[in-house]
Amino acid sequence: MPQQSPLEIPELLDRCINFVTRSELHIRLDAPDLLACSLVARSWVHPAQSQLFRAPIHTNPNLFFQPSVVQKFWAALLASPHLLQHVRLLSVDYSALPPHCLELLCRELLTRLESLMIRVENGSQTSPTPDTFPKPSTLPALRHLSLDLVGPFSLLDSIVQHFPSTIEHLDLNCTAWDSEIPSDIASTAPLIQLKSARLNMRGNDDFVWFPLHPGGSSYPFDFSQLKALAIFYAPPIDLSVIPTNRIEILDLHVMYVNPPVDLTAFPMLQILRFGIGRSTISSIVAETLSTVTSQHRIRTIIIAVERYRSGQAASYAELDSLIASMPMPSLPAVELEHSFQFHYKPDFVQYFPTLVSKNLFRVVSYDFVRECWQALVNQL
* pLDDT at residue number 143: 93
* pLDDT at residue number 331: 95
* pLDDT at residue number 215: 45
Provide CB contacts within 8 A for 211, sequence distance 6+. Answer: 199, 219, 221
**DSSP designation for 259:** P
* pLDDT at residue number 12: 83
Cis check: omega of the bond before 235, within 30 degrees of 0: yes
* pLDDT at residue number 102: 78
Q: How far is CA 9 from CA 3, 14, 15, 43, 47, in A?
A: 11, 9, 10, 10, 13
* pLDDT at residue number 72: 78
- In the predicted model, residues of the chain with pLDDT beneath 50 are 1, 25-27, 206-209, 213-216, 235
* pLDDT at residue number 67: 66
pTM of the model: 0.84
Q: How far apart are CA 380 and CA 372, in angstroms?
A: 14
* pLDDT at residue number 194: 92
- Which has the closest alpha carbon to 355: 283, 301, 276? 301
SS3 247: coil
Model confidence over 35-77: pLDDT tens digits? 888 888 888 888 888 888 887 665 555 555 566 777 778 888 8
* pLDDT at residue number 180: 58
* pLDDT at residue number 269: 96
* pLDDT at residue number 268: 95
* pLDDT at residue number 122: 65
- Which has the closest alpha carbon to 199: 276, 252, 269? 252
* pLDDT at residue number 134: 79
Q: How far apart are CA 18 and CA 27, in angstroms?
A: 12
Q: Residue 188, CB half-sphere, CA atoms under 13 Å: how many?
A: 8
